[in-house]
Amino acid sequence: MTEPIVKVKNLSMHFGQASGFFSGPQRLVKAVDNVNLEVFEGETLGLVGESGCGKSTLGRSILQLCKPTTGTVQYRGTDLVKLEGKALRKMRNRFQMIYQDPYASLNPRMKIADIIGEPMYIHQLHPRSEIRSEVEKILKMVGLARDFADRYPHEFSGGQRQRIGIARALAAQPDFIVADEPISALDVSIQAQIINLMRNLQQQLKLTYLFIAHDLAVVRHISDRMAVMYLGKVMELTDSNTIYEDPLHPYTQSLLAAIPIPDPEKEREREANRVLLDGEVPSPENPPEGCAFCTRCPRKREVFETKKIDCSTKAPTFAEAKPGHWTACHLYT
Amino acid sequence: MGEALLEVENLHVHFPTPDGVVQAVNGISYSLGKKEILAIVGESGSGKSVGVLSLLRLIPARDCKVQGSVNFEGQNLLKLSDPEMRELRGNRIAMVFQDPMTSLNPVLRIGDQIQESVIEHQGISEKIAKSRAIELLELVGIPEAGKRYRHYPHQFSGGMRQRIMIAAGLACEPSILIADEPTTALDVTIQAQIIDLVKKLRREIGMSVIWITHDLGIVAGLADRVAVMYAGKIVEFAPVDQLFKTPQHPYSRGLLNSLPRLDARSEKPLEAIEGLPPNLINYPASCPFLERCSYQTEQCQIPPEMRSITTTHEVCCHHTEKL
Amino acid sequence: MGFILFLALFADLLSPFAYDRVYFDRVLLMPFEHPEHPLGTDEVGRDYLSRLIYGARTSMMVSLSVQMIALMIGLPIGALAGYFGGAFDFVISRIIDIMTAFPALLFTILIISVLGGGMPTIIVALSITSWIVIARITRAQILTLREQEYCTAARGIGASEWRILFRHLLPNAMSPILIAVSFGIPTVIFAEAGLSFLGLGVNDPIASWGKMVGASNAYVRVYWHLALLPTLAIALTMLGFSFLGDGLRDALDPKQKIRV
Residue A89 has its nearest CB partner, among C152, C158, C172, at C158
Find the residue in C nearest to B279 (Cα): C260
Closest Cα of chain B to A301: distance in Å? 21
Residue A277 has its nearest CB partner, among B189, B261, B271, at B189
Q: What is the mean pLDDT of chain A?
A: 89
Mutate to test the interface with A, among B259, B273, B293 (most CBs of A within 10 A): B259
Question: Do C168 and A119 count as a contact with CB atoms less than 8 A apart?
Answer: no
Q: Does A180 or C239 have the greater pLDDT score?
A: A180
Q: What is the mean pLDDT of chain C?
A: 82
Question: Do C158 and A92 count as a contact with CB atoms less than 8 A apart?
Answer: yes
What value does the mean pLDDT take over residues A229-250? 92
Per-residue model confidence as pLDDT tens digits over C140-162: 999 999 888 899 999 999 899 89
Residue B271 has its nearest CB partner, among A192, A222, A266, at A192
pLDDT of residue A116: 95
Residue A90, helix vs strand vs coil: helix
- Is pLDDT of C20 > 80? no
Per-residue model confidence as pLDDT tens digits over A104-153: 999 998 999 999 999 999 999 999 999 999 999 999 999 999 989 999 99
Question: Do A262 and B219 count as a contact with CB atoms less than 8 A apart?
Answer: yes
Closest Cα of chain B to C249: distance in Å? 19
Dihedral angle sign, alpha carbons of residues A235, A238, A240, A246: negative
B236/B314 Cα distance (integer angstroms):
6
pLDDT of residue A123: 93
A233/A295 Cα distance (integer angstroms):
15
Residue A122, amino acid: I
Confidence of residue A230 (pLDDT cuts 50, 70, 90): very high
- Is pLDDT of C108 > 80? yes
Confidence of residue B250 (pLDDT cuts 50, 70, 90): very high
Q: Does C134 or C183 have the greater pLDDT score?
A: C134
pLDDT of residue C58: 84
Q: Which residues of A touch B216 (CB under 8 A)?
A: 188, 262
Confidence of residue A51 (pLDDT cuts 50, 70, 90): confident
Q: Which residues of A touch B189 (CB under 8 A)?
A: 50, 254-255, 258, 276-277
What value does the mean pLDDT take over residues B231-248? 93
Question: Do A266 and B265 count as a contact with CB atoms less than 8 A apart?
Answer: no
The greatest distance separating any two alpha carbons of chain B, rounded to the nearest whole angstrom, comes to: 67
pLDDT of residue A21: 53
Residue B67, amino acid: Q
Residues A184/A190/A195/A196 CA torsion (nearest 10 deg): 180
What value does the mean pLDDT take over residues B191-198? 87
Q: Which residues of A touch B44 (CB under 8 A)?
A: 187
Per-residue model confidence as pLDDT tens digits over C240-255: 888 887 887 777 765 5
Q: Give me the helices (H) in chain B, please.
A: 48-53, 82-88, 110-122, 126-139, 145-148, 158-170, 188-205, 216-222, 240-245, 250-258
Q: Which residues of C touch B19 (CB under 8 A)?
A: 259-260
Per-residue model confidence as pLDDT tens digits over A71-85: 999 999 899 999 888
pLDDT of residue C260: 29
Q: Parallel, antiparallel, or unpaired: how do β-strands B314-315 and B233-239 relate?
A: antiparallel
Size of interface B-C (CB pairs under 8 A): 5
pLDDT of residue C254: 54
Closest Cα of chain C to B18: distance in Å? 9
Closest Cα of chain A to C127: distance in Å? 30
- Is pLDDT of B130 > 60? yes
pLDDT of residue B323: 53
pLDDT of residue A20: 52
- Is pLDDT of A25 > 70? no
Per-residue model confidence as pLDDT tens digits over A117-126: 999 999 999 9
Q: Does B226 or B259 have the greater pLDDT score?
A: B226
Subunit partners of chain A (3 or more CB pairs within 8 A) = B, C
Closest Cα of chain A to C152: distance in Å? 7
Instruction: Name the β-bridge partners of A32.
Output: A13
Q: What is the mean pLDDT of chain B?
A: 87
What value does the mean pLDDT take over residues B169-179? 87
Using left for φ > 0, alpha for ψ between -120 and 50, and beta otherwise, residue B199 falls in: alpha
CB B41 within 8 Å of CB B213:
yes
Q: Which residues of C touch A118 (CB under 8 A)?
A: 154, 157, 159, 167
A160 Cβ under 8 Å from any chain C Cβ: no
What value does the mean pLDDT take over residues C102-131? 85
| Nearest alpha carbon to residue A256 among A269, A245, A272, A268 | A245
B63 Cβ under 8 Å from any chain C Cβ: no
Instruction: Specify which of A275-284, A300-309, B227-236, C7-16 reaches the highest per-range mean pLDDT.
Output: B227-236
Q: Which residues of B touch A274 (CB under 8 A)?
A: 192
Question: Do A255 and B219 count as a contact with CB atoms less than 8 A apart?
Answer: no
Confidence of residue C259 (pLDDT cuts 50, 70, 90): very low
Per-residue model confidence as pLDDT tens digits over C47-79: 888 888 888 888 888 888 999 999 999 999 999
Per-residue model confidence as pLDDT tens digits over A160-169: 999 999 999 9
CB A131 within 8 Å of CB A120:
yes
B274 Cβ under 8 Å from any chain C Cβ: no
Subunit partners of chain C (3 or more CB pairs within 8 A) = A, B
Per-residue model confidence as pLDDT tens digits over B82-119: 888 888 887 888 888 887 777 888 888 888 888 887 88
What DSSP string describes B215-282? Answer: -HHHHHHH-SEEEEEETTEEEEEEEHHHHHHS--SHHHHHHHHHS--TT---SSPP----S-PPPSSS
Check: pTM over 0.90? Answer yes or no.
Answer: no
Question: Do A154 and C258 count as a contact with CB atoms less than 8 A apart?
Answer: yes
Sorted by sequence, the CB contacts under 8 Å of residue A318 that are 6+ apart come out as A36, A233, A234, A237, A326, A327, A328
Find the residue in A nearest to C155 (Cα): A65
pLDDT of residue B322: 57
pLDDT of residue C1: 62
Question: Do B17 and C259 count as a contact with CB atoms less than 8 A apart?
Answer: no
Phi, psi of B46 (to 5 degrees): -80, -10
Confidence of residue A305 (pLDDT cuts 50, 70, 90): confident
A62 Cβ under 8 Å from any chain C Cβ: no
Size of interface A-B (CB pairs under 8 A): 132
A61/A80 Cα distance (integer angstroms):
10
Q: Which residues of B touch C260 (CB under 8 A)?
A: 17, 19, 22, 281
Mutate to test the interface with A, among C141, C146, C148, C149 (most CBs of A within 10 A): C149
What value does the mean pLDDT take over residues A10-27? 68
The greatest distance separating any two alpha carbons of chain C, rounded to the nearest whole angstrom, comes to: 77
Using left for φ > 0, alpha for ψ between -120 and 50, and beta otherwise, residue B195 falls in: alpha
pLDDT of residue C225: 80
Instruction: Name the β-bridge partners of A238.
Output: A226
Mutate to test the interface with C, among A56, A57, A84, A105 (most CBs of C within 10 A): A105
Q: Does B321 or A289 have the greater pLDDT score?
A: A289
ipTM of this complex prediction, to 2 decimal places: 0.83
pLDDT of residue C242: 80
Q: Which residues of A touch C152 (CB under 8 A)?
A: 60, 65, 99, 105
